[in-house]
Structure 1
Amino acid sequence: MDIGGTKDFEFNIRDPKFLDEQALWEEAKRVYSKCKDCRMCVTYCPSFPALFDAVDRHDDDIEKLSKEELALPLELCFHCKQCYFKCPYTPPHEWRIDFPHLSLRYKVWKFKNKGAKLIDRLMVNTDLVGKLSVPFAGIVNKLNNTKPVRVILENFMGIDRRAKLPPINSQTLVDWYKENRKPVKGENGKIALFSTCLFNYNYLEKGIALLRVLEKNDLWVEIPEVQCCGIPFFDVGDIDTVIEKAKHNVKVLKSYVSAGYDIVVPVPTCALQIKYEYPLLLPEDPDAKLVSEKVFDVHEYLWKLKEKGRLNQDFR
């Protein structure tokens, strides 16, 4: 992805053909016809091996792919967007290969036409799961490490029993900061920290460490009451919920941007979502673009301080 510039993404939810099944499969075939002859992305994620295996089974003939074979690579994409770094044909190239947004388009079409399992919709609702789990963190963390519970989770929720589950915080990062913030002058800048679900509900110690680094650098930090960035809902194609969360977060963050705050995000996926996806999801809202222009990954933000000679590196 061209992090520093503008990418003309292939994603327009207002296109009359956006949810047309025939148009979707034709676009998939067009993209696949380019990908099968390139294959630079074969090691990036499961999507591309699935595509190339299917093409090879049919002697390189895209037209012979079944709907299931066309759909599988799009199902397997989890929107990390690393293929943007490798693919030579992303927009503005004339071929306009944009695999993650093609995958999202397919999942939105699937959700609109077939819906999603209740358990899948629950699993992507990180705000709900987090808020319900934090008050019972001790119990949940113990149960999540017992064999019987892991067997149940595998059989009923599809979570492999060998997978390492993130711990649940005993309190949210937002609540911890209200009680433990340190006084700083803020002469190095003002930050609205987008806490993210991972830090707010799962990795409190990492969140505390981050806040201490920011305080050590004399940055005034506020933690807005935001919702999940919405990207987990991409997995099931629930675009309406993503848009609702985008609207809420843009409204909240706009007030901070107007007050001179930079928006710093400690999870790259969430940063990409706010910076690049929100303007696509809310094309008629100028505030979405205004907010996106003030979003920084935390490493990017600290590096900018270093380049200005203002990063405090006096660590033990």
Structure 2
Amino acid sequence: MREGSLEAPTRHPIDWQSADYYDEAKLDAEMRRVLDICHGCRRCFNLCDSFPRLFDLVDNSKNGELDTVDSKDFKPVVDACTLCDMCYMTKCPYVPPHEFNLDFPHLMLRYRAVEANRDGVKLKDRALAATDFNGGIATVVSGLANWATDADNKAARGVLNSLLGLNPEAALPKYAGKTLEAEAQANPPQRAENAPAKGRKAIVYATCYGNFNDTSIGKAALAVLARNGVETKVLHPHCCGMPKLEQGLIGEVADSAKLVAESFAPYIAEGWDIVALVPSCALMLKFEWPLILPRDENVKRLAAATFDLSEYVVDIARKEGLAEGLKPLDGGVAFHVSCHSRAQNMGQKGADLLRLAPQMDLTVIERCSGHGGAWGCKGSNFETALKVGKPAARQIAGAGKKYMVSECPLAGMHLAQGVERMESDAPKPELVSHPIELLARAYGE
């Protein structure tokens, strides 16, 4: 057998609607096939906690091989996978079209889908994944919601730990007092008339986080796009389903995909681009949904029309050129490339965006933050997440920059906690939610 494939990697559609997909004996056989190859390779030892757990499991077995590991002991390996896709994208030499046909993240997804199909999903996990519902309520009572979720509120965070398993020390996203959709409708951005990208039209997919939590990302995006002449509208038909994908609820993710794709279809037919504010959501629209619903024409067209926010602004800069008026930022930037940005296979578009500002002093960090979405906020996972993200946090702390930023705002929050724990007398960098905010500042917005 040759090691590694000479062809570009590809991914197979997820066969979640077949009975075989949920057959536990067939799943176990595939788990053993794949995990045995992983055990023999071990290139992913320094990624997430899944692989150290797997290798310890095998090394501590009777004969040091997978055949003496009990199948029930695979669960901790699966639970530690955050579906970041970095093993598939950057490490594994055996991804399709290699004959070994390894797709570790999608195998972990299948394991969770089988669990969810057999046992259901715990109420507390469903509650955390109900991002649209939670955001719709929390924006109405944002003061109360932010008080209750503040890490300094020990009593309330103790209750959240008991009810939802959220670690009391984990930083949680704040809620906005008004959604991005509502803000954009009340104060639509004024487009520059003779700007380079005047012919473009973009639907800004607000995403749950951008709509309900941190609207500063969307407002900065709208300001930069308006400055460059892009006609914009803000829409948030529904969550992309990433939180439910992490729980194996593939059918519910498919429902979300159909709803959002149908909502965007008329705009795509009229030539509008779709721009997602958060990398995880862009990844879902561009790559995961077409693998879940490979025959849905609306999903296909949406995938082809979707841009990550950084990708879109850089595309304007390269094709039409950006509007004048950018000035140097006061202070350098430590920029973290999020895993779901890397998984889009589009290059370091966030770094390219930041370099559009003149005289940019930039340090790029391409290591996992460790946060893993809701996973990194739960129980003992929080400390594990900090451990996984420590190399990236150490690089940020050592960069000596004024700002720190990740395209994934949750990764940024988590890394900021890691930086705070570093023993250093140096001033801590200011956390910014997304590179677009720094570009907006360079424009004077």
**TM-score category by the smaller chain?**
over 0.9
Q: Which structure 2 segments of 5+ residues have no match? A: 1-7, 327-442
Aligned to 2:211: 200
Matched, 1:253 2:264: yes
1:156 maps to what in 2? 163
Task: Give yes or no for contact 1:10–1:98 (8 Å, CA) kept in 2.
Answer: no
Match in the other structure for 1:136: 141
Work out which of the residue numbers 100, 112, 116 in structure 2 matches 1:111. Answer: 116
Partners of 1:291 and 1:7 lie apart in 2 by 20
Q: Is the 8 A contact 1:25 1:70 kept in 2?
A: no
**Do structure 1's residue 57 and structure 2's residue 68 form an aligned pair?**
no
The separation in 2 between residues aligned to 1:91 and 1:130, in whole angstroms, is: 38
Residues 1:96 and 2:101 aligned together? yes
Q: 1:90 aligns to what SS in structure 2?
A: coil
* Residues 100-127 of structure 1, C-alpha deviations (whole Å, 9 max, x = no match): 1111111111011001111111111100
Aligned equivalent of 1:22, options 19, 25, 28: 25
Corresponding position: 1:13 with 2:9: no
2:248 equivalent in structure 1: 237
Closer, same or farther: CA 6–216 of 1 in aligned 2, 3 Å: farther
Contact 2:113 2:249 in 1 (8 A): yes
Secondary structure at the counterpart of residue 100 of structure 1: helix
The runs of at least 4 consecutive aligned structure 1 residues that moved more than 4 Å come to: none
User: What is the rounded CA distance, in whole Å, between the counterparts of 2:50 and 2:13 in structure 1?
Assistant: 18
Deviation string 1:12-66 (CA, Å, 9 cap, x unpaired) is 1134310000111111111111111222212211111111111111243212222
Q: What is the one-letter code of the residue matched to 2:67?
A: E
The TM-score, its normalising length taken from structure 1, stands at: 0.94
Partner of 1:191: 202
Conserved 8 A contact 1:225-1:252: no
* 3-state SS in 1 of match to 2:43: coil
Q: Equivalents in 1 of 2:60, 2:12: separation in Å? A: 31
CA RMSD after TM alignment? 1.6
Shift of the alpha carbon at 1:208?
1.1
Q: Which secondary structure does the structure 2 equivalent of 1:93 belong to?
A: coil
Whether contact under 8 Å (1:196, 1:265) holds in the other structure is: yes
- The corresponding residue for 2:347 is none
Shift of 1:257: 1.0
| Cross-structure match for 1:298 | 309
Change in CA separation of 1:95 and 1:283 when aligned onto 2, cut-off 3 Å: same
The size of the alignment, in residue pairs, is 312
Indicate if the aligned counterparts of 1:197 and 1:228 stay in contact, CA closer than 8 A: yes
TM-score between both structures, scaled by the size of structure 2? 0.67
Distance 1:38 1:7 in 2: 20
Partner of 2:423: none
User: Contact (CA 8 Å) 1:107, 1:234: kept in 2 or not?
Assistant: no
1:125 aligns to what? 130
Amino acid at match of 1:36: H
Q: Does the aligned pair in 2 maintain the 1:188–1:217 contact within 8 Å?
A: no
Alignment partner of 1:308 out of 319, 330, 349: 319
1:167 aligns with 2:174: yes
**In structure 2, C-alpha distance between the alignment counterparts of 1:236 and 1:8, rounded to whole Å:** 20
Query: Does the aligned pair in 2 maintain the 1:89–1:96 contact within 8 Å?
Result: yes
State the SS of the aligned residue for 2:257. Answer: helix
In the other structure, the counterpart of 1:176 is: 183
Compared CA separation, residues 6 and 63, structure 1 to 2 (3 A)? closer
Q: Whole-Å Cα distance in 2 between the matches of residues 13 and 117 of structure 1? A: 21
- The structure-2 alpha-carbon separation of the partners of 1:251 and 1:288, relative to structure 1 and needing over 3 Å to count, comes to same
Counterpart among 244, 252, 270 of residue 281 in structure 2: 270
Q: Distance in 2 between matches of 1:195 and 1:269?
A: 12
Deviation digits for residues 141-198 of structure 1 (CA, Å, limit 9, x no counterpart): 1222211011111122110000001100101001000011123256141111111111
SS at match of 2:20: coil
Matching residue's letter, 1:175: A
Q: Distance in 2 between matches of 1:253 and 1:11?
A: 23
Structure 1 residues 178, 269: CA separation in 2 closer, same or farther (over 3 Å shift)?
A: same
Aligned residue for 1:18, secondary structure, equals: helix
- Secondary structure of the 1:302 match is helix
Q: Are positions 1:68 and 2:79 aligned together?
A: no
Q: What corresponds to 2:359 in structure 1?
A: none
Q: Is the 8 A contact 1:264 1:296 kept in 2?
A: yes
Task: Indicate the SS of the match to 2:203.
Answer: strand
* Percent identity for Structure 1 against Structure 2: 33
Q: Give distance in 2, aligned partners of 1:158 and 1:85.
A: 32
CA distance in 1, matches of 2:176, 2:64: 50
Partner of 2:227: 216
